[in-house]
Structure 1
Amino acid sequence: MAKTDATMSLEGKTILITGGAGILGRQVVQRLLGAGARVAIVDQSPEARAALEAVLADPALGIAAADWQIHSTDITDLDALKALKTTLDGSWGEINVLINNAAAKSPNFFAPFAEFPRFDWDSVMAVNVTGAMQCCQVFGQAMADRGRGSIINTLSVYGIVAPDQRIYEGSEYEGRAINTPAIYSASKAALWGLTKYLSSYWGAQNVRVNAVTPGGIYSGQNETFQQRYGARVPLGRMAQGEELPGAFIYLASDAASYVTGQNICVDGGLTVW
């Protein structure tokens, strides 16, 4: 009996991931490449792109330069996405898997709800929901036309349950007081709705549309936040970045060939309470 399941391999698959140089994205990218995929990475942050490029180019990792590309495409610009598709079609051919992972913050992201500016609301929604929708229009419709493909949307526990406001008193991230704003919950909930809709819309065309819901990932939060968040989680702690990519690999692979319209919560059990 084989020691590994060949259906979990991503050999021969070409994957596009937005927000691919962020805290979660860079972990997912490295694991996708390790599973044999070619990966086109989209990210708007020059600093994050440069940092990821330096990691992927490290000879010690043994990642072939021909297996990855990094683009700065604005996913809120439909024409820019169409141009990206033309570029990728010319260099790599069809995209087999789309991962909508991009998520935006705004200048007043942590402002109280009653004072949250409409501009900030619209700018975050433009990336988190409209940008994902446009990626699905451009790349998902092409999958439907071919009769195969997988779309994976990155959600949040706070798109399916409400944040416990009590954990934020005294909580900081890199020295700044934090909270979870309503726009983040609303946008991620909307993306879950889009996930379910498209799983039905394109099911007959053999395009699978699923979601991954990460729990809180440790990335520099202070001890107060870690303790209070961990107390709300059955496993008693925040996630480490490397614990999330497995769900994406599964949904991208042929092992999930009969899975659509589903949401895999990788949250340490937070959403069971």
Structure 2
Amino acid sequence: MRTVRQLIDMSGRRALITGAAGGLGRAMADSLAELGADLLLVDLDGAATPQLAEDLAVRHGIKATPLACDLEDAAQRVALAEKVLVGGGLSVLVNNAAFVGSSDLSGWAEPFEGQTVETWRRALEVNLTAAFHLSQLLIPALRAGPGGSVVNIASIYGEWGPDWSLYEGTAMANPAAYGTSKGGLIQFTRWLATTVAPEVRVNAISPGGVARGQPDSFVERYTARTPLGRMAVEDDFRGAIAYLASDMSAYVTGQVLAIDGGWGAW
């Protein structure tokens, strides 16, 4: 019987994390590095992945490689996979990158009638199609490597509709494309889990709202609607990624782990 310490040890394994320079990406990268995994840190050209890679390598004594890729571009996804496949094995793929738009993006932070097909397509390309494509390209490596695991980062809005009362009086948005793409990612998780088993496990994390300087009125309403009485912080996701990426969850596949403070329990 292996100990918990042995089950969670990821020494000798390599993990690829998309959207690595963002808040959740950094927390998950740091968590897997602490467990001993070597890392491939993927984000847009110009993101802070080189500095992140250097910091993680120094602090945790692992190998961390920054890789630039625009996940909207299928050709760049193929090129990324080729770099990964020639550079060594792969044990974990974390599909974390997300198209979240901005308030000044035309056709995004608009009433439903003003949301455009173009922004819809962009969101689905990054949030869903890229996860499908990278999984397809890298499954052979995950099958060959030890502890093959895909972890998709979904959202509570892939499971539940938005409560519009939370947004009143703010410039915040919740476009249809975001929730739809995350809902698709959850179903893709289940579909892929039954397709690539038993060699590779596929699970998802469904985060609730993460505190990132939202307006006070939104935070107060969100907190009141959440059983644990607060928004999430990045550290709340460390245990989830450590569990799903390691052999701690060796008999878990096709599952969605909600890290939402009880949001979905009402």
Report the TM-score when normalising by structure 1: 0.89
Q: Does 1:187 align with 2:181?
A: yes
RMSD (CA atoms): 2.3
Aligned equivalent of 1:232, options 212, 220, 225 = 225
Residues matched between the structures, number: 262
Candidates 83, 91, 105, aligned match of 1:96: 91
| Equivalent residue letter for 1:245 | R
Query: What SS does the aligned partner of 1:24 have?
Result: helix
Runs of 5+ in structure 2 lacking a partner? Answer: none
- In the alignment, the residues of structure 1 paired with residue 178 and residue 45 of structure 2 have an alpha-carbon distance, to the nearest angstrom, of 19
Residue 90 of structure 1 and its aligned partner are, at CA, apart by 3.3
SS of 2:218's equivalent in the other structure is: helix
**Alignment partner of 1:244: what SS?**
helix
Alpha-carbon distance change, 4 to 258 in structure 1, aligned in 2, over 3 angstroms: closer
- Quick check: 1:8–1:255 contact (8 Å CA) kept in 2? yes
Equivalent position of 1:85 in the other structure = 81
Q: 1:115 to 1:245 in 2, by over 3 A?
A: same
2:11 aligned with 1:6 = no
Q: Give SS of 1:212's match.
A: strand
Q: Is the 8 A contact 2:89 2:144 kept in 1?
A: no
Paired AA for residue 198 in structure 1: L
| Deviation (angstroms), 1:74 | 2.4
**Partner residue in 1 for 2:238:** 245
- In the alignment, the residues of structure 2 paired with residue 76 and residue 141 of structure 1 have an alpha-carbon distance, to the nearest angstrom, of 22
**Residue 180 of structure 1, CA deviation:** 1.3
Candidates 54, 69, 80, aligned match of 2:51? 54
Report the Cα offset of residue 31 of structure 1: 1.3
Shifted more, 100-109 versus 11-20: the winner is 100-109
Is the Cα contact below 8 Å between 2:95 and 2:131 reproduced in 1? yes
Give yes or no for contact 2:42–2:66 (8 Å, CA) kept in 1: yes
Q: By how many angstroms is 1:148 displaced?
A: 5.5
Deviations 1:25-55 (A, max 9, x none): 1111111111111110111162xx22x5335
Superposition deviation, residue 7 in structure 1: 0.4
Task: Work out whether residues 23 and 219 of structure 1, in 8 Å CA contact, stay in contact via their aligned partners in 2.
Answer: no
1:200-249 alpha-carbon deviations (Å, 9 max, x no partner): 11114x21000001111111112111111001100011011111121011
Residue 203 of structure 2 aligns to a residue whose secondary structure is: strand
Of residues 183, 201, 209, the one that matches 2:202 is 209
Q: Is the 8 A contact 1:20 1:102 kept in 2?
A: yes
Deviation at 1:147, TM superposition (A): 8.5
Q: Secondary structure at the match of 1:268?
A: coil
Partner of 1:69: 65
**C-alpha distance in 2 between matches for 1:111 and 1:29:** 33
Deviations 1:73-117 (A, max 9, x none): 1234343333323323333x1111000001013423211111101
Deviations 1:144-195 (A, max 9, x none): 4668510000000010011111010123xxxxx1021111110000000100
Structure 1 counterpart of 2:172: 178
SS at match of 1:57: helix
For 1:253, give the aligned amino acid.
S
Q: Distance in 2 between matches of 1:170 and 1:3?
A: 52
Aligned counterparts of 2:196 and 2:223: Cα–Cα separation in 1:
38
State TM-score, norm by structure 2.
0.91
The answer to whether the 8 Å contact 2:96/2:153 transfers is yes
1:80–1:55 distance in 2 versus 1, CA, 3 Å: closer
Match of 1:246, SS? helix
Partner AA of 2:91 in structure 1: N
Whether the 8 Å CA contact 2:16–2:41 is kept in 1: the answer is yes
Helix, strand or coil for the counterpart of 1:70? strand
